[in-house]
Structure 1
Amino acid sequence: MELTGIAALPYVDAHTAVVMADTDTVWRALGEVLDRSFGRPRTARYTRLVGCADHASSGPRPLAEGATVPGFRVVAAVPGRKLVLAGRHRFSSYAIVFRLAPDGVGRSTLSAETRAAFPGWSGRLYRRLVIGTGGHAAAVRRLLAAVGRRCG
């Protein structure tokens, strides 16, 4: 999926955290947390079950364009500033855009914006299960908190 295709996906939600570290440190921690969180065997099984094209980690580390984590491909990577992940499976096309910005001395703001389309009746049901239950929001908040802990 290209960046223009991501912009066309409907907005789902956004979450923000202030992290007590500079953006370069947060960038490294974000990549490590994504690899650890999505690198679990159950994630690989889930991505195969729903039909994700990318169900294994591959490519350069720290994350760069073309690299993958289960369920996602890196579409854009600007170290210390922006990381764009996109994916697709039977029930959804989706992307998450991480943005980092300095927020004073030794602090950064890390945000995660999710965009996704859920076509058809099965997509609507999947949206209800993942988004409607609050599961997605909780998972993103946990991920942002894990980045903060990794920096601490």
Structure 2
Amino acid sequence: MERLSYIDEHARSIDANRDRAWKALLKVVCKDPSDPSTVPAGFVLESAEVPARLAMKGRHWFSEYALVFELDDECANRTRIHAKSWANFPGLHGKIYRALVIGSGGHQVVVRRMLRKIAAAA
């Protein structure tokens, strides 16, 4: 996969230590929370560094993309979770797809909803 272009980053503070935040992340993102490789359809696991980083990537006709979650300690019982996105949208169909997904704000809504669910699960 060629180098992807940066799209955006969203972050949220969670009232939980990093271990609990990591478990909440897997509970929300993975089909089987005990197995980080069970990421959502359209993604494959790129790396899982417990309890600090979960990186997923994917590809289809209109785009190549990556979504990376990073967890940082804010204090003993508080974690900051970052969701960082990269993607390329080649060709005319890719430009149209980018407008639909990124330009419409849909991507932002989905990522922020995921972060809220992770915070609630923690």
TM-score band, normalised by shorter chain: over 0.9
Partner deviation per Cα, 1:35-72 (whole Å, 9 max, x = no partner): 3xxx6xxxxxxxxxxxxxxxxx8xx83304xx442111
- Inter-partner Cα distance in structure 2 for 1:80 and 1:62: 13
1:105 matched to 2:100: no
- The aligned residue for residue 4 of structure 2 is 9
1:142 matched to 2:113: yes
> Unmatched 5+ residue regions in structure 2?
none
How many residues get paired? 122
Query: How is 1:1-152 mapped onto 2 (pairs within 5 angstroms)?
Result: 5=2, 8-35=3-30, 61-64=34-37, 67-151=38-122
C-alpha displacement of 1:105: 2.0
Residue type of the alignment partner of 1:140: V
Tell me, yes or no, if the aligned pair for 1:28 and 1:62 is still in contact at 8 Å.
no
What SS is found at the alignment partner of 1:69? coil
C-alpha displacement of 1:85: 0.3
- Inter-partner Cα distance in structure 1 for 2:16 and 2:67: 22
Q: Which has the higher helix share?
A: 1
Q: Which has the higher strand share?
A: 2
- Inter-partner Cα distance in structure 2 for 1:87 and 1:149: 27
- Inter-partner Cα distance in structure 2 for 1:61 and 1:104: 26
Tell me, yes or no, if the aligned pair for 2:62 and 2:97 is still in contact at 8 Å.
yes
Stretches of 4+ aligned residues off by more than 4 angstroms: none
